[in-house]
C-alpha cells in the first residue's frame, strides 16, 4: 500500500493506494465519526463491490443509496435523492457518507455531504482510474447543468481517499483510457519526467500492468496533492489542473453528457490547448507533436467530434467557471511540464485553433 497526504492544515487528509483496500477496516475506522454510515454507489458498481465494503463496515449502522450509472444522471434531481435518503433514515450530523464509484459518484456524493446539515464527513472510495488519479482528490464537488458541466457545487474536502486498485480489474477498456487522459495531464502541466515515463510505459498502462498503474496513480496523486495544498480554492495556480478542460467541457455539454466520456473530451481538449500554445509561439512544434502522439497511443481522441461549429464551441466555453471579466481563461503550455493561465490572447488565435481542430491537420 502507498500512502500520501493532502496538506491543508486542519482539513488535511490521507490518500491510500493499493489492492484490496475496500476490505481494510483499519483504514476506514479513523475517518468514521459516528455510528451511522450512508454508502452511495451506482447500479454498475454495487453488484461488484458493495457487499465487500458493507462487510468491512459491519460495526456501524450502514445504509445504502444506489444511483443509476452515467454522467447524464449527475443532476440536481439525483443529488436531491441522496439528501432524501439521508433525511429519510434519518441520519444524524455525525453520519459519514462513503462515495463508492467513479467520478460522478464522488462529485455528487461530496456535494450532498457538503450540503446535508451544513456539512457531514465523507470518504472517497474511487473505483475508476480517472477517479483514483483525479476527481477523488482535491475537494471539488458538483453536479451538471444543461448549459454547463460542474457549474453547481462546492469545495468540500473528504476525510480520506481509499483507492482500491483491485477495482480497476473490472473497468472496461474505454473507461481505463479515459482515466489515462488525466494521468497524461499531470505530466503536461508540471512533471516532465513523468511525461517521459509515460512515453516509455504507455503500452504497460493500456495493458493494465499492475505496477505501472500503481505508479501512475501515486505520481498523479502526488502532483495533484501539491497543487491543491498550495491553492485549495483555485484562486491561482490550481487552475492549471484544468488543462484541456475548458475545451473538453464544451465538447461534453454540446454532444450531451455521457456521449463522450470526460477523459475523452479532456484528451481532445489537451491537444487543442497544445495547438493554441504552439500557435501563440510558446510550445514548439516538436512538443506539440509529442503530446498528440502520446494521447493517440493511449487510444484517446485527438480531435473534437464532427459537427461542432465554432459558435457553439465558443458559447459553451463562455459558460465555463474559469471565465473572468468576460474573458475565457485558458490553461496553456510553455513547454511540456510547464503550464500557465492565459486570458490575454488574440481572439483570432482561439478561433483559428477551433477551426484547425475541426478540420484536422
162 and 264 within one domain: no
- Lowest pLDDT segment from 25-39, 178-192, 214-228, 311-325: 311-325
Q: Say if CB 68 and CB 40 are below 8 A apart.
A: no
Q: Please give the positions annotated as active site.
A: 118, 140, 182, 224, 234, 238, 242, 245, 249, 262
| Helix ranges restricted to H, 285-361 | 285-297, 310-318, 347-359
d(CA 8, CA 344): 31
pLDDT band at 360 (very low <50, low <70, confident <90, very high): low
119 and 253 within one domain: no
pLDDT score recorded for residue 358:
77
Among 119, 153, 170, identify where a domain stops: 170
Among 144, 170, 196, identify where a domain stops: 170
Element (H, E) at 86: helix 76-88
177 and 145 within one domain: no
Residue 310 has pLDDT above 90, yes or no: no
105 and 89 within one domain: yes
252 and 335 within one domain: yes
pLDDT band at 194 (very low <50, low <70, confident <90, very high): very high
Cell numbers at residue 40, please? Answer: 452511495
Q: Say if CB 131 and CB 263 are below 8 A apart.
A: no
Helical packing angle, 173-190 and 210-230, nearest 10°: 50
301 and 270 within one domain: yes
pLDDT score recorded for residue 121:
98
The whole-number average pLDDT for the span 238-252 is 95
pLDDT score recorded for residue 222:
98
CATH code where residue 239 lies: 1.20.1090.10
**Side-chain half-sphere exposure of 3, counting CA atoms within 13 A:** 5
pLDDT score recorded for residue 258:
86
The whole-number average pLDDT for the span 152-158 is 97
Element (H, E) at 322: none
CATH code where residue 127 lies: 3.40.50.1970
332 and 209 within one domain: yes
pLDDT score recorded for residue 6:
98
193 and 104 within one domain: no
| Residue reference for cell 469545495 | 155
pLDDT score recorded for residue 315:
87
**Side-chain half-sphere exposure of 152, counting CA atoms within 13 A:** 14
Question: Is the omega angle on the peptide bond into residue 215 within 30 degrees of 0, that is, cis?
Answer: no
User: What is the share, in percent, of the chain residues with pLDDT greater than 90?
Assistant: 88
215 and 84 within one domain: no
Among 170, 192, 217, identify where a domain stops: 170
Cβ neighbour number for residue 322 with a 10 Å cutoff: 18
- Lowest pLDDT segment from 4-18, 257-271, 318-332: 318-332
46 and 113 within one domain: yes
177 and 165 within one domain: no
Residue 361 has pLDDT above 90, yes or no: no
Structure confidence by residue, pLDDT tens digits, 47-63: 999 999 999 999 999 99
pLDDT score recorded for residue 106:
98
d(CA 102, CA 43): 12
Position with higher pLDDT, 313 vs 217: 217
> How many structural domains comprise the chain?
2
pLDDT score recorded for residue 325:
74
Position with higher pLDDT, 323 vs 75: 75
pLDDT band at 323 (very low <50, low <70, confident <90, very high): confident
Residues across the chain: 361
Structure confidence by residue, pLDDT tens digits, 74-120: 999 999 999 999 999 999 999 999 999 999 999 999 999 999 999 99
160 and 22 within one domain: yes
Helix (H, G, I), strand (E, B) or coil at 66: strand
pLDDT score recorded for residue 16:
98
Mean pLDDT over the full length of the chain: 95
Its sign, for the CA torsion 251, 253, 258, 262, is positive
| Residue reference for cell 484517446 | 300
pLDDT score recorded for residue 115:
98
pLDDT score recorded for residue 25:
97
- Domain interval for residue 55: 2-170
Residue 254 has pLDDT above 70, yes or no: yes
Amino acid at each position: 500500500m502507498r500512502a500520501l497526504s493532502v496538506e491543508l492544515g486542519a482539513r488535511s487528509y490521507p490518500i491510500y493506494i493499493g489492492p484490496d483496500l475496500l476490505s481494510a477496516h483499519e483504514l476506514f475506522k479513523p475517518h468514521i465519526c459516528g455510528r451511522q454510515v450512508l454508502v452511495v454507489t451506482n447500479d454498475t458498481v454495487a453488484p461488484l463491490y458493495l457487499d465487500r465494503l458493507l462487510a468491512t463496515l459491519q460495526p456501524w449502522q450502514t445504509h445504502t443509496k444506489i444511483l443509476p450509472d452515467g454522467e447524464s444522471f449527475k443532476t440536481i434531481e439525483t443529488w436531491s435523492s441522496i439528501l432524501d435518503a439521508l433525511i429519510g433514515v434519518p441520519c444524524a450530523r455525525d453520519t459519514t457518507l462513503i462515495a463508492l464509484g467513479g467520478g460522478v459518484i464522488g462529485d455528487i456524493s461530496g456535494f450532498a455531504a457538503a450540503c446535508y446539515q451544513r456539512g457531514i464527513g465523507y470518504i472517497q472510495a474511487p473505483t475508476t482510474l480517472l477517479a483514483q488519479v483525479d476527481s477523488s482528490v482535491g475537494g471539488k464537488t458538483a453536479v451538471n447543468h444543461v448549459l454547463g458541466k460542474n457549474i453547481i457545487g462546492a469545495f468540500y474536502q473528504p476525510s480520506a481517499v481509499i483507492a482500491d486498485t483491485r477495482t480497476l480489474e473490472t473497468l472496461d477498456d474505454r473507461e481505463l483510457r479515459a482515466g489515462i487522459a488525466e494521468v497524461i495531464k499531470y505530466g503536461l502541466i508540471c512533471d516532465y519526467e513523468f511525461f517521459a515515463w509515460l512515453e516509455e510505459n504507455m503500452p504497460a498502462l493500456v495493458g493494465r500492468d499492475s505496477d505501472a498503474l500503481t505508479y501512475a496513480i501515486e505520481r498523479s496523486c502526488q502532483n495533484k496533492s501539491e497543487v491543491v495544498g498550495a491553492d485549495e480554492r483555485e484562486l491561482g495556480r490550481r487552475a492549471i489542473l484544468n488543462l484541456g478542460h475548458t475545451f473538453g467541457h464544451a465538447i461534453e455539454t454540446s454532444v450531451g453528457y455521457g456521449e463522450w466520456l470526460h477523459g475523452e473530451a479532456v484528451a481532445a481538449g489537451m491537444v487543442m490547448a497544445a495547438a493554441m500554445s504552439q500557435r501563440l509561439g510558446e510550445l514548439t512544434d516538436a512538443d506539440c507533436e509529442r503530446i498528440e502522439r502520446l494521447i493517440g497511443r493511449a487510444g484517446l481522441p485527438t480531435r473534437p467530434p464532427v459537427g461542432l461549429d465554432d459558435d457553439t464551441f465558443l458559447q459553451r466555453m463562455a459558460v465555463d467557471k474559469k471565465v473572468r471579466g468576460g474573458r475565457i481563461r485558458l490553461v496553456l503550455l510553455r513547454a511540456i511540464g510547464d503550464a500557465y493561465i492565459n486570458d490575454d490572447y488574440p481572439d483570432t488565435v482561439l478561433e483559428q485553433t477551433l477551426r484547425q481542430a475541426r478540420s484536422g491537420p
